[in-house]
Amino acid sequence: MLIQRIKVSNYKTYLDLDLDLSVDEERPIILIGGSNGGGKTTLFEAISGALYGLKIENREHFMELVNQGAVGQVKPEISLQITFSGKVLGQEQK
């Protein structure tokens, strides 16, 4: 299975991220780069959170994870979504 897309809303540095990660079969590599504080680690934490769930200890911890630009503007919630594709039992699945 390959990650095709990740959508992140109101999580740390990401107010609204919709990242297409689809690749060409001939070139199946994606590089993630950026400056310090640019959100590279947060992207991988969001993927992990979408797969395994966020470990939120209490309300204060939750408020640390919510994008500060979203506080007071929208309902305080975090959304992490991943779309996969790949072959299951010989058939392409999404």
* Segment 18-50, tens digit of pLDDT: 999 988 888 888 899 999 999 999 999 999 999
Strand-by-strand arrangement of the 79-88 sheet:
14-20, 2-11, 79-88, 91-93
What's the whole-model pTM score? Answer: 0.82
Q: What is the pLDDT of residue 69?
A: 84
| Domain total of the chain | 1
pLDDT, tens only, 58-74: 999 999 999 988 888 88
Q: What is the span of the domain harbouring residue 15?
A: 2-93
